[in-house]
Structure 1
Amino acid sequence: MSVRTFLLPDLGEGLTEAELVTWLVAVGDEILVDQPVAEVETAKSLVEVPSPYAGTVAVLHGEAGQTLDVGRPLISVAPAGGSGFGQAPDAASEAVGDTGAAADTGAAPVGQSDPAGEAYRQEEKAGSGNVLIGYGTPGGLAVARRTRRSRNVAAAPAGPVAMPAPAAAPAPLPVPAAPPAEAPRCISPLVRKLARDGGVRLGGLSGSGANGLILRSDVEAALATAMPAGSGTSPSIITKTDTAAVDPRTGLAIASQTPVKGLRKTVAANLAASRSNIPEATVWVDVDATALLELRADLKRRDPGNTPGLLAFLARFVVAGLAKFPELNARFDQEDSGAQITAYDGVNLGFAAQTDRGLVVPSVRRADTMSARQLDVEIRRLTASARNGKATPAELSSGTFTLNNYGVFGVDGSAAIINYPESAILGVGRIIDKPWVVDGALAVRKMTELTLVFDHRICDGGTAGGFLRYVADAIENPGSVLADL
């Protein structure tokens, strides 16, 4: 059987490229069907790529940090025990397993698979595409341990072999350095990426976690030791301290240059598309949030462990407002045949979440079917997934309307950019004490500012103002609104 090459699949939602974060296997490793072989970072998440083939790793097509296009070769796999290895292994990424790992785990012998796995490989070869990363194929063995084929001892011949004619003894080959006894104890993709960007060798760290697990704090401590105190230099930024390059326009020395890729590249393209394609308009209103805060405080006293956060209440009010003003829960499509407005049956409510990788917008699917408590649970789950780099492409790109709580950054208002191709975004500023007139008398109230940015092609100001006023009234009188939901 010849060497088979697995191409980098479409990781979801039409992504065209991915950055290779780290290899999970090395040349010479014997792998099973659905065993993760590489960890890649798309513009939306960190994902592990499983192999559809079983056998021996022959070639790794790419190096950590390299950007690969979808459809380009990722890994080549030879039949188990085969030869033809095309790339030297990286000792830092090797993990030496026990011979006979398949037998230890109860798995089928390497090179064999069940009918479901074989059907998947035939489907992939036929060009029907690959399964979504993270789901694997039926009967997959993604947790099987790897085994290392000996580099120094040739496989025993299967039958008699003719002896070659005597020849001069070749010069002795250099003996390679022995690989480490085991791989660094690090299971977090974000920690591995932080170490790689900062030039920290994981093999030289002693983990402070359970059983020597290397944590993010361990890598950050190593970075702090390596960099001068107070330098403030991010490991992801390339500093030009030795070359003294000069910017031709300003005449100033260039301090650093940071490649725009991954999430930042996608965000930049998305924001540019929004500004270029959407004729946006903005409306805003000051809102007295005192009653909402008092309602939540009362619920917290009654049931401390089951009280939704403020964002969940705001999300519930937004969903109710979109039911009354569905024009804002739509998309403007400009096709060759003409323009059309696509309306949705349901709301996937996106919300902005700040992460170490940048600002992302996970969405609560079918938020219109959820209560405030259910929305709170889903918002917390999606926020944790996004910050851990585990949110799926579908979760990060399926929104129909976005809620942006920039008040957490201590600002009152912002003319936000619409999350293209959506048609509107609602921003919420910080809640602070301000003087406000209540029943003809001046009082100190908990005030916030709502700002709605909308696509003026979708609707006029009357619709946008009606939606914004509905959400504002819900915040000011939450009891009456929630009673109708």
Structure 2
Amino acid sequence: MTSALQVFMLPDLGEGLTEAELINWLVAVGDEIRVDQPIAEVETAKSVVEVPSPYAGTVAELHGEPGQTLDVGKPLISVARVGSLAGAGADDAAPAPSPDEEPVVETAAANAYREEEKAGSGNVLIGYGTPGGAGQSRRTRAPRQLSVVEPAEAPDLDLSLLRTRVPGKLGAVISPLVRRMAREHGVDLGDLHGSGDSGLIMRRDVEAAISSPDVDARPVVEASPVAEPSRAVGDTPAGTDSRTGLPISARTPVKGVRKVVAANMTRSRQEIPEATVWVDVDATALVELRAGLKKSDPHNAPGLLAFIARFVTAGLKRFPELNTRIEAAADGAQEIVAFDGINLGFAAQTDRGLTVPSIRNAEKLSARELDAEIRRLTAVVREGKGTPEQLGSGTFTLNNYGVFGVDGSAAIINHPEVAILGVGRIMDKPWVVGGELAVRKVTELTLTFDHRVCDGGTAAGFLRFVADAIENPGSVLAEL
């Protein structure tokens, strides 16, 4: 006899991630749900995504609380099949399976596309088909896996094999969930003495440390020949930094967008031998061109960034080395991958952090069309609704940090791209024009590039092309 519960595992939402933060439940236990109904909002790398259910039925259990980080492949929600709870009492509505019975997990990974076509669903997640409709999804029993549990749940476990301990520093911790809880709440495991067997640190020990931050979580023990020296309570207050002696005002877990940005920037600096070139540009003609268009058509004049984006795509056609990516070939050697097209990313600051949506096939768009896409995608990411395709498919990035009132920046390349162009603020500066000093609208362009894909001549050629286009926009636009 199989279980009436269908367990929906948190899928990979298309970004290759291993975890996501649960933002909000859209359903509650006892609710009747249908196939493709949104059941939860989760925060992925750079967007908030509504997760649809592949099952119809009654919500039996929600596996997680808002704010909790969930691992991909772990249970998200349990759904009882329609009618399976009819006539059942409160105590036997969802009976637990017997010890020798494995839960049945419905999957359709190999037939996802076929099932989607049959069901007509637009919300099928990667790794899941829609089991409804004319198709019949195949059932397979989930393989037995060794779970990491607390010792109270598995008294026969060999603690010497499972616990993690550095003598004199970290207490024994068996559960990665306990380690994560301690890390997210700023609890130093070195200050804890576990209440479990052999000093094992349990979840209750970390919870006690969180609820009583002003009390040293490690009790004073009697001195013995084998005991490590104890520290008197109050030697180092829990709210004081041991290195500086200053009070700690806050601890903020690095997660969500900030965590992804940090990992991506770290990888970029570790892997890419970057170099930077820059040039000051007289943008007076471009500013005047845009002002003239705005005067004649106040509502449809492209912004300055759209014009620069148009010049960038034209420059990348002439210097395609900067619109590539480096990958490892099958034999382990590196190879440069070129693209037939340009997906132009642009940095957009949002309340949730820095995002880089990309305009697909940007080389085919006019300045006016680029302006419309920049405005549309900016609104999308600021609402937290950017898709993985929009946020992870760029081939070159344009960064307008001038909006923050700065002149220049040696930006970090958005891995795995090979170059990023930065635009500083446009300001009045003295400039020599025709041998005479004049006040002009000047900006600084900064190009950071991967020295593996090209040398300085190529980078300088591209930068100079964009600079010349800004200084003489009319002639360049006429040729595009």
Alignment TM-score, normalising by the size of structure 1: 0.69
Please give the alpha-carbon distance, in whole angstroms, between the structure 2 residues aligned to 1:36 and 1:350: 29
The answer for the alignment partner of 1:7 in structure 2 is 9
> What's the CA shift string for 1:41-62, capped at 9, x where partnerless?
1112111111111111111111
Partner in structure 2 of residue 441 of structure 1: 436
Equivalents in 1 of 2:367, 2:302: separation in Å?
6
1:378 to partner: Cα distance: 0.5
Partner of 1:35: 37
Report the Cα distance in structure 1 between the residues aligned to 2:262 and 2:370, rounded to whole angstroms.
29
Q: Deviations over 1:47-93 (max 9, x none)?
A: 11111111111111111111111111111111234349999xxxxxx
Alignment check: 8 A CA contact 1:312 1:372 kept:
yes
Which runs of 4 or more aligned residues in structure 1 lie more than 3 Å from their structure 2 counterparts after TM superposition?
81-87, 128-131, 139-142, 238-244
Please name the residue that 1:214 is paired with: none
- Which residue in 1 is equivalent to 2:412? 417
How far apart, in 2, do the equivalents of 1:22 and 1:363 lie?
27
For residues 240 and 385 of structure 1, what CA distance do their matches in structure 2 show? 42
**Residues 240 and 254 in structure 1, CA contact (< 8 A), matched pair in contact too:** no
Structure 1 counterpart of 2:28 = 26
Letter matched to residue 464 of structure 2: R
Q: Tell me the residue number matched to 1:465.
A: 460
- 2:323 and 2:338 in contact (8 A); partners too: yes
Q: Does the Cα contact within 8 Å between 1:9 and 1:129 map onto a contact in 2?
A: no
CA deviation profile, 1:235-257 (whole Å, cap 9, x unmatched)? xxx99996751212222121100
CA distance in 1, matches of 2:376, 2:83: 44
For 2:108, which of 126, 134, 146 is the aligned residue?
A: 126
Instruction: Note the residue ranges of structure 2 that are not aligned, 5 or more in a row.
Output: 92-103, 125-209, 216-237
Offset from partner CA, 1:252-292 (integer Å, 9 cap, x none): 12110001111111000000000000000000000000000
Find the residue that maps to 2:363 and give its secondary structure. Answer: helix
1:383 corresponds to: 378
Residues 32-181 of structure 1: pairs in structure 2 closer than 5 A: 32-83=34-85, 125-128=107-110, 138=120
| 1:330 matches 2:324 | yes
Deviation at 1:372, TM superposition (A): 0.4
Q: Please say if 1:266 is aligned against 2:260.
A: yes
Q: Does structure 1 residue 393 correspond to structure 2 residue 395?
A: no
> Which SS does the other structure have where 1:305 is aligned?
coil
1:363-378 correspondence runs (5 A): 363-378=358-373
Distance 1:270 1:86, change over 3 A: farther
* Identical aligned residues as a percent: 71
CA-based RMSD of the aligned residues comes to 2.7
SS in 1 for 2:7: strand
For residues 476 and 249 of structure 1, what CA distance do their matches in structure 2 show? Answer: 53
Structure 2: how far apart are the matches of 1:412 and 1:136? 55
- 1:310 matched to which residue of 2? 304
Amino acid at match of 2:313: V
Corresponding residue of 1:301: 295
Give CA deviations for 1:348-384 in whole Å, capped at 9, x if unaligned. Answer: 0000000000011000011011000100000000000
Report SS of the residue matched to 1:459: coil
Q: Structure 2: how far apart are the matches of 1:270 and 1:139?
A: 33
Q: Deviation of residue 129 (structure 1)?
A: 8.1
Tell whether the 8 Å contact from 1:240 to 1:256 is kept in structure 2 after alignment: no
Judge conservation of contact 2:282–2:470 (CA < 8 Å) in 1. Answer: yes
Which has the bigger relative contact order, CA under 8 A and spacing at least 6? 1
1:340-379 equivalence runs, <5 A: 340-379=335-374
* Alpha-carbon offset, residue 127 of structure 1: 2.6
Structure-2 change in CA distance of 1:7 and 1:137 (3 Å):
farther
Amino acid at match of 1:263: V
Paired residues in the alignment total 353
Question: Quick one: which of 246, 252, 269 aligns to 1:252?
Answer: 246
TM-score after normalising by structure 2: 0.70
| Structure 1 gap ranges (5+) | 88-121, 143-237
Q: What is the CA–CA distance in structure 1 between the aligned matches of 2:12 and 2:284, rounded to whole Å? A: 48
Spell out, residue by residue over 1:379-426, the C-alpha distance to the aligned partner (whole angstroms, 9 max, x if none). 000000010001111101100000000000000000000000100000
CA deviations on 1:172-216 (whole Å, 9 max, x unpaired) are xxxxxxxxxxxxxxxxxxxxxxxxxxxxxxxxxxxxxxxxxxxxx
